[in-house]
Amino acid sequence: MPRLAAGKQRKSAKILFICVGLLGAALIADLLWASSTSSSARSFTYKPAFDWPPPKTSSDSFPLPVSSNHSAKVVADKDKKDEFHGRILSKTFADLPGPELKWEKMSEAPVPRLDGAAIQINDELFVFAGYGTIDLVHSHVDIYNFTSNRWGGRFDMPKEMAHSHLGMVTDGRYIYIVTGQYGPQCRGPTAHTFVLDTKTKKWEDMPPLPVPRYAPATQLWRGRLHVMGGSKEDRYTPGVDHWSIAVKDGKVLEKEWRIEMPIPRGGPHRACIVVDDRLYTIGGQEGDFMAKPNSPIFKCSRRNEVVYSDVYMLDDEMKWKVLPPMPKPDSHIEFAWAVVNNSIVIAGGTTDKHPVTKKMILNNEIFQFQLDTLKWSVVGKLPFRVKTTLVGFWDGWLYFTSGQRDRGVDDPTPKKVIGEMWRTKLRLL
Ligand SMILES: *[C@@H]1O[C@H](CO)[C@@H](O)[C@H](O)[C@H]1NC(C)=O
Ligand SMILES: *[C@@H]1O[C@H](CO)[C@@H](O)[C@H](O)[C@H]1NC(C)=O
Ligand SMILES: *[C@@H]1O[C@H](CO)[C@@H](O)[C@H](O)[C@H]1NC(C)=O
C-alpha cells in the first residue's frame, strides 16, 4: 500500500543448529522429522488454548516442501539425542541478541486473537477476525485509537468473509480483503473478497480470487491489488500464483483478475510491503497445519514446515530480485510490520523448528531493514516471543497486540493466545 506519511506504517545469516565437531555425529536433513516418534511429537501441540494433534507416524506425513538452504540439520543418531538436547542445544538457541527496550502495557483488546489481521489508518488500528480458540473464530472488527489509547468501535464483518489467514491492504481509506480460511480448526479457504470503506463502515463485494488461498501476500502497487503466494486449498501446498486487479477508491475497475509473474517462492505468512514504488516480500514458510483426512471438524494436524529468511523485490524491471536475507528465518509476520523512516520494522514471528524436539520456536526480536543500505539489524527485543502479532506505529511509538506468545523466558514454544497491547518508544539506527 502507499505509505502515507500519517498513514499506517504497515506493513543472515542462516542458522546453524549443530555443533558437528562436538558430536561427531552424522548430519542429515531434517526431512526425517516426520517419522520421529510420537513421544517427541507430543510437544507439537498448542496446549492448552490450542489442542492441535501431533503427526502420528510416517504414514501421517505429507509430501515435503521444496528443500531449503535454511532448513535445520539434524543429528540422526537417536542415542545421542538426549545428550544433544540437554547439554548442547538450549531451547532458546535461536534467540538473537538485541537492545532491551522499555515496554508499556496498554489496555487489552476486547478478545484475544490468533491469525487475525490488522490495518492502520492514521491513528486507528483496525483489527480483524482471528481465532479466539482453535474451535472459535471471530467475525468482527475491533478498533484501537493510538491517540486516546483506547479500544472501541466494534463492528461486524460480512458473514461470508474468512476468519483467519486473510490477505489485506489499505489505500488510506478503503481496506481490500481477499480470501483466507473460513471457519475454525483447519477448515478450507474461501475465494470471497471484499472492500471496506472505513469512513462509512460499509462493505462491498469484489470479484472472487480465481482460486482460494491461505495467508497470501497482498499489496496495492501501481493502482492494482496484488495477491500472491499463500497455501493452496489443502492449507499446506505452497502456491506461487500471482494475480492482480485494477482498483481505485474502493472500486474494482476490471471484471477479472489478471495473471501476473509467479513469485519465486510460494507459501503463507510472509510480510508484503510497498515502499517508494517497490514491492517487497519477506520471510514466510512452506507447509502448514492441515485438516486431518476425514475429520468431520477438520481437526488441525501438524505437517512439516520450512521457514524462510528470503527477501524478494519487484521494481520497474518487473523481475523478482533477491535482496539480503533476514538475520534468521521468520514467518507469521504478515501484519507484524511497520514502515518507519525508510526502514521496514518487523516484530516477532516464528523461526525454524527446534532440530531435535521439533517444537515450533517463536521469535522475540524487532528487526530493522534499512531500505537505503539494504542492511538488516536487531533493534530491540519484545517483552516476550510472539507470532502473528499485529503492529502499528504512531507518534514515535511502536505498538503490538494479539498473537500467540511463548511459554516463558526459557521456553520459546507457543502457548497463550493474547489480546494484550504493548508499546515502546522506538529508536532506529
Ligand atoms: C542453495 O544455495 C545455492 C547457492 O547459494 C543455490 O545454488 C541453490 O539453488 C540453493 N538451493 C535451494 C534449494 O534453495
Ligand atoms: C482518536 O482519539 C482522539 C482523542 O479522543 C480523537 O481526537 C480522534 O478523533 C480519534 N481518532 C479517530 C480517527 O476517531
Ligand atoms: C525518524 O527520523 C527522525 C528525523 O531524523 C527522528 O527524529 C526520529 O527519531 C526517527 N524515528 C525513529 C523511530 O527512529
Q: How many CB atoms lie within 10 A of CB 348?
A: 27
Q: What is the pLDDT of residue 90?
A: 86
- Give which of 185, 189, 169, 172 is closest to 128, Cα–Cα: 169
Judged against a pLDDT cut of 50, whether residue 65 lies above it is answered with no
Q: Which atom of ligand 1 is found nearest the CA of 67?
A: 13
Cα gap 75→92, rounded to integer Å: 18
The grid cell for 187 is 477448515
The grid cell for 176 is 481490500
Q: Report the mean per-residue pLDDT for the chain.
A: 85
Q: What is the DSSP string of 126-192?
A: EEE--EEETTEE--EEEEEETTTTEEEEEEEPPTTS-SBS-EEEESSSEEEEE--B-SSTTPPB---
pLDDT in tens, 225-272: 999 999 999 999 999 999 999 999 999 999 999 999 999 999 999 999
Identify the band that residue 209 occupies on the pLDDT scale cut at 50, 70 and 90.
very high
Sequence-distant (≥ 6) Cβ neighbours of residue 233 within 8 angstroms: 188, 189, 211, 212
Parallel, antiparallel, or unpaired: how do β-strands 136-137 and 131-133 relate?
antiparallel
Asked if 376 and 368 touch (Cβ cutoff 8 Å), the reply is yes
Sequence-distant (≥ 6) Cβ neighbours of residue 107 within 8 angstroms: 149, 150, 151, 421
Among the bound ligands, the one closest to the CA of 429: 3
Among the bound ligands, the one closest to the CA of 306: 1
pLDDT in tens, 275-322: 999 999 999 999 999 999 999 999 999 999 999 999 999 998 989 999
Domains and CATH numbers, the chain: 71-425 (2.120.10.80)
Residue among 147, 154, 201 to mutate when testing ligand 2 (max atoms within 8 A of CB) = 147
**Residue of minimum CA distance from atom 3 in ligand 3:** 341
Instruction: Tell how far the Cα of 121 is from the centroid of ligand 3, in angstroms.
Output: 20
- Ligand 2 contact, 147 CB (< 6 A): yes
Q: What is the pLDDT of residue 10?
A: 46
The torsion angles phi and psi of 206, rounded to 5 degrees, stand at: -125, 165
Cα gap 329→354, rounded to integer Å: 12
pLDDT in tens, 314-357: 998 989 999 999 999 999 999 999 999 999 999 999 999 999 88
Cα gap 397→425, rounded to integer Å: 5
pLDDT in tens, 377-404: 999 999 999 999 999 999 999 999 999 9
Cα gap 418→136, rounded to integer Å: 14
Q: For the whole prediction, is pTM greater than 0.85?
A: no
